[in-house]
Structure 1
């Protein structure tokens, strides 16, 4: 895929994740500043394994100027599950927050969903991410109630509508 340019003029490439990305994606999830404090338990033991990457449509945003033997520094990633249509994961590296990476990933997600013939994609949001999802066009459709002890708080549920081209 051709590089895209961020508002900060940093070229970014979004590519399909491969099995060797698994450890880096796992580190990004576990190290996310968005999951500190009361939310830390949600990601403490989380693992993005090679099997997950092979099963789902996982895409990685990489810094095209910072290429390495693994294909570039990971700035963020998302995972699209087709059945039922769901944005399962979307993470942006802490150091890349505010650079438009999340918006690029959501735009890519919509294009992938359209290509797959989907007309909508649901996402159960991390509560602090609600503002982000609203800002990129997701529509709130409900609330997923807390399920203690695993998830002790209610979570907003959104839908991305994917109109045909």
Structure 2
């Protein structure tokens, strides 16, 4: 691999100015595509997202936020925050945007939203390969959520993200 290359399509990622905005119903197809094509869900994890859908009704019912390229509007990632009980329901970063700080940008925004809603902590049931990311932003492991076949075939780490942590 060449220095500076990430191995993604043979190019190093370019820096981008991302803006975070509230998702709208017309984002549903793009968010669904981002989930279904995520390389984080290849192999044994693929069945989990094969038929997954982020519908307009979901976007309208929950606090869903999109990170978009400020110049092109291209969706770089998104998250969904549930308030009662407080939980990160979804967080995805597009494969092509990995390594650009989009996940950290979304996490910082998540904390602002949670703080504004009066929350002190947000529960995260993590995709196993993403646990390291959540721990790196300050989430603390508190247990394991057991598999629920056939929908979820593997145990998942459970973490709590303090809202007031940096």
Q: Same fold (TM over 0.5)?
A: yes
Aligned length: 153
User: 1:3 corresponds to which residue?
Assistant: none
User: 1:141 corresponds to which residue?
Assistant: 142
User: 1:59 corresponds to which residue?
Assistant: 65
* 1:111 positional shift: 0.3
Q: Specify the SS of the correspondent of 1:111.
A: helix
User: 1:106 corresponds to which residue?
Assistant: 107
Matches within 5 A, 1:18-57: 18-57=24-63
Separation in structure 1 between the aligned mates of residue 102 and residue 65 of structure 2, nearest angstrom = 12
What residue ranges of structure 1 are gaps of 5+ in the alignment? 1-6, 67-71
Q: Aligned pair 1:153/2:161, yes or no? A: no
* 1:163 positional shift: 2.7
User: 2:81 corresponds to which residue?
Assistant: 80
* CA RMSD in angstroms, aligned pairs only: 1.3
* 1:90 positional shift: 0.1
Q: What is the TM-score of this pair, normalised by structure 2?
A: 0.89
What residue ranges of structure 2 are gaps of 5+ in the alignment? 1-12
Separation in structure 2 between the aligned mates of residue 90 and residue 121 of structure 1, nearest angstrom = 13
Runs of 4+ in 1 over 2 A off after TM superposition: none
Bigger mean CA deviation after superposition, 86-95 or 150-159: 150-159
**Counterpart contact for 2:16–2:100, Cα < 8 Å:** no
User: 1:69 corresponds to which residue?
Assistant: none
**Counterpart contact for 2:30–2:75, Cα < 8 Å:** yes
